Chains A and B, each alone.
Chain A
């Protein structure tokens, strides 16, 4: 974002929308993380703080009937796809009013009305499922697009390669969106990946691969728009490698002792949500009053979702035995 001119093909509304969604993700994450750390809620939570712009940019291009698959570090993708906050929060709290009645939890969010179809806790396993969602659209002759989100570590499991090959062979309308946050759990990108750029792997499967700065909304939006349009036109998959960073390690107890010195501090100093706010102000896309208004609205919205979740009843114990099959087996 060194160049502070506004690209002609991206309207200010889109940029403000991306900022709004990124802020919603950031505020939700900060609030939820503080509750977990304070012991007010018991959850295995994987923070996507720092990766907001990737999801907010992609989300701005998708329709409600487009499909998204994400991972256990998926709050940003879920919010960006429009999953309702109150029920999302209630699910994080394991409450009866949660999206999944408290049976899924943070690692297993589903909300078909928003198109958020699967959140998986198994690294890399979402790619074949995303190929299948895209296959359904292709067989029905709709122009729905599927976006599969995953981390850099996922590109090393077999399912990544099988899904890419299948999507390439069948020209499936899917965007494989890798959030390369430079660490696969506790293993650095270069220690676990045989290529310098995950985007290069797309060539092996016969479709475009592009590496972008995922923290730059203009760059991210441009790459995602090309990929989504290509999929919608029926021309097949794209692999996007969005470079980003996670601010809070792999898990909540993570001390980040495996990281390079100074790396985390530098990333936090370049907080992409803060940087975007400054950019919007510097380019006069939005004045301080408007930005502060957006932030105040979001704080109220998140507070409301939190209160809803906190005050909701816990799941009825009888629910533990339902939804295994459509009907209970004798």
Chain B
């Protein structure tokens, strides 16, 4: 199954199970089924009142989703591209994230926000950003970034079931990546549980989303030199599987964080700080970060490629980390 189909099957499953679930977003109804086809067929099957095409009104979409959630519904709001969250960040940050706290726990906002994100399709600076660091900085929100179709289905389902506001960041290149097996029917990947994609003893590559694949590719290159890299797919950033991160790095004593978002104040900085605070004495070398350049995202293909962290950059970062290590590693 392709990534966009996996997400659609999660929505289909949840619409079928729970009458309080409904979807709203621009162009999501049939015959179009959304610009990325994630919701194709759902309004025909579940009704246009539950799969609601909205005007182009991000504030109204997000605000209506917040209000409906406060009233006990489980809305899934689609904000077409993550960059557009800027238009409705008041509703997400000041309301969705804070209403439980400000009400002393009287109300909750069981809202799911879906947004496409990420570079690689030459959409230019306003349609390509990864802005998960904005969101992880806001107490009250949960944030997930799947790396493959099965996780996309399971994490989206977990978000809809969750009592708190969740944002699922769907990298648009993964919508159409080569198909992979996806469990049929109800499938939940719990929030806050990282996956070890590849085991290794020498260094831990910590990543999420599409860059997990770059990390795996880099690990393959390194293995040829006798360097065994462990690859951790975080899957969810809030809640974060701190234990999985720290256990792995405690074993390998080296870590490189890989993400697509710009390096400065990116989520990698949080991970590097977490590891350093917890494992300073065990670390063989400082935690390294491989991330996007500190620029808006360019349009021209060679420039866009240069913006993105490559698996070559990961290989280089691993070698540099091990070269300055206080610990002797093979290779």
Interface residues, chain A, with chain B CB atoms under 8 Å away: 67, 69, 98-104, 108, 110-112, 117-118, 120-122, 125, 127-137, 139-140, 146, 158-159, 162-163, 165-166, 169-170, 319, 322-326, 329-330
Contact A326 B163 (CB under 8 A): yes
For B, the interface residue count at a CB cutoff of 8 angstroms equals 47
B269 near A: Cβ within 8 Å? no
Closest 10 CB pairs between A and B? Answer: A128-B63, A132-B67, A136-B71, A101-B104, A110-B103, A100-B104, A162-B60, A132-B64, A129-B67, A108-B102
B316 near A: Cβ within 8 Å? no
When distances are taken between beta carbons in the complex, the residues of chain B under 8 Å from A120 are 94-95
The listed residue (B63, B99, B104, B243) touching A131 by CB distance below 8 A is B63
Number of A-B contacts (CB under 8 A): 157
Contact A165 B60 (CB under 8 A): yes
**Within the complex, what minimum Cβ distance (angstroms) separates A316 from chain B?**
12
Interface residues, chain B, with chain A CB atoms under 8 Å away: 22, 49-50, 52, 54-55, 57-60, 62-73, 75, 90-91, 94-95, 99-108, 139-140, 142, 163-164, 192, 238-239, 242-243
When distances are taken between beta carbons in the complex, the residues of chain A under 8 Å from B65 are 132
**Within the complex, what minimum Cβ distance (angstroms) separates A128 from chain B?**
2
Interface-centre pick from B67, B99, B139 (highest chain A CB count, 10 A): B67
When distances are taken between beta carbons in the complex, the residues of chain A under 8 Å from B66 are 128-129, 132
When distances are taken between beta carbons in the complex, the residues of chain A under 8 Å from B101 are 103, 323-324
**Within the complex, what minimum Cβ distance (angstroms) separates B308 from chain A?**
31
Which B residue's beta carbon lies closest to that of A69?
A: B67
The listed residue (B73, B139, B163) touching A324 by CB distance below 8 A is B139
Contact A132 B102 (CB under 8 A): no
When distances are taken between beta carbons in the complex, the residues of chain B under 8 Å from A112 are 106-107
When distances are taken between beta carbons in the complex, the residues of chain A under 8 Å from B57 are 162, 165-166
**Within the complex, what minimum Cβ distance (angstroms) separates B253 from chain A?**
23
The listed residue (B62, B104, B140) touching A98 by CB distance below 8 A is B104
The listed residue (A104, A128, A140) touching B103 by CB distance below 8 A is A104
Contact B95 A159 (CB under 8 A): no
CA–CA, A54 and B260, complex, Å? 53
Contact B90 A125 (CB under 8 A): yes
CA–CA, A25 and B72, complex, Å? 30
When distances are taken between beta carbons in the complex, the residues of chain B under 8 Å from A128 are 59-60, 62-64, 66-67, 91
CA–CA, A243 and B134, complex, Å? 40
CA–CA, A134 and B68, complex, Å? 8
CA–CA, A128 and B57, complex, Å? 10
Known: A110-B106, A131-B63. A118 touches B68 (CB 8 A): no
